[in-house]
Amino acid sequence: MATPLTLKELSKKEELFTHGHRMCAGCGAPTIVKMVLLATEYPVVAANATGCLEVSTCISEYTAWKIPWIHTAFENAAATLSGVETMYRSLKKQGKIDKDVKFIAFGGDGGTYDIGFQSLSGAMERGHDMIYICYDNGAYMNTGIQRSSATPMGADTTTCPAGSCVPGKLRPRKNLTKIMAEHNIPYAAQASPSHWMDLMKKVRKAHELPGAKFLNVISPCNRGWRSKTNDAITLSRLAVNTCYWPLYEIEEGITKVTYTPKEKLPLLDFIKPQGRFKHLFEPGNEWLLKAMQEEVDREWAKLQAAEKCGC
């Protein structure tokens, strides 16, 4: 019987991702991993792409993981776990393993949207029975806050710096959740640590569906976002309530919005607390603020239309 998703019952479970790691204070990624593993009712094997989460949670002989955990290169977490999952199916067919084991890959947006996209796409297309979870902090935070294709429009990074000629990144972020859904996988979803029950329900649903699944989870980074160390959950919630990061799932091709804000807040509420956007409030950049809001409104309208038409 699955553990009820209540704080009281979850607090009784063993934590499979422990304290003692070296992630930055206030980072969203360890909170996400802890929630994912608390939601999981099966034995789990994890693969972890190189990145902040990997380098900070397993240093020499010390590890924060209490599950079988595989460090892979930046670009091949999905490929590595595909091989492990294939080996497991073979051993189970041979009668050498009789228990149900689940497989989860973790990667940041650099190792998922960009460098690891080819191996992720291949794993999804082949239909390996695994969940790939991207903790999306919107840049290559581990190597110096460089732009990734997950970086939002208007953001200042070290490779698209805001200056007198260019006011930060001029292109919208890649919509990877929808791209993964187009691989005809049974389940793709977006989630946020601010809405922990929604996130945990999506993890549990993904485990019960056979085949390849993808979860994209927003993961605030106070170093790269230039925000306070205690506002990861606040910023995650603002991302959801401004519809910058809508919560939805696409199951067998059918879109469902899993949370609709009672009041859709302006995008300014999400970007004002972040230093990476401070240049946008200087005279002359009003057009970019307007374009950013229009992009969010357009994507939210498209998502609502997809849910309404059942597609």
Q: Has residue 309 got a pLDDT over 80?
A: yes
Confidence of residue 20 (pLDDT cuts 50, 70, 90): confident
The amino acid present at 272, given as its one-letter code, is K
The mean per-residue pLDDT over the stretch 250-279 comes to 97
Average pLDDT of the chain?
96
What are 128-176's pLDDT values in tens digits? Answer: 999 999 999 999 999 999 999 999 999 999 999 999 889 999 999 999 9
The mean per-residue pLDDT over the stretch 220-237 comes to 97
Confidence of residue 47 (pLDDT cuts 50, 70, 90): very high
Residue 167 to residue 156: CA distance in whole angstroms:
8
Q: Measured in whole angstroms, how far is the alpha carbon of residue 4 from the centre of its chain?
A: 24
Which of 50-64, 77-91, 181-195 has the lowest average pLDDT?
A: 50-64
> What is the pTM assigned to this prediction?
0.96
In this structure, what DSSP letter does residue 6 have?
S
Q: Has residue 80 got a pLDDT over 90?
A: yes
Q: Has residue 61 got a pLDDT over 90?
A: no
Domain definitions of the chain by residue range: 15-309
Give the pLDDT of residue 233.
Answer: 98
What are 184-218's pLDDT values in tens digits? Answer: 999 999 999 999 999 999 999 999 999 999 999 99
From the options 3.40.920.10, 3.40.50.970, 3.30.70.870, 3.40.50.2300, give the CATH code of 15-309: 3.40.50.970
Q: Which value, to the nearest 10 degrees, does the dihedral of the CA atoms of residues 67, 145, 172, 230 take?
A: 70
Instruction: List, in order, residues 6 or more apart from 197 with CB less than 8 Å away.
Output: 5
Q: Strand 247-251's sheet: what is its strand order? A: 69-71, 44-48, 102-108, 130-136, 212-218, 187-191, 247-251, 254-259
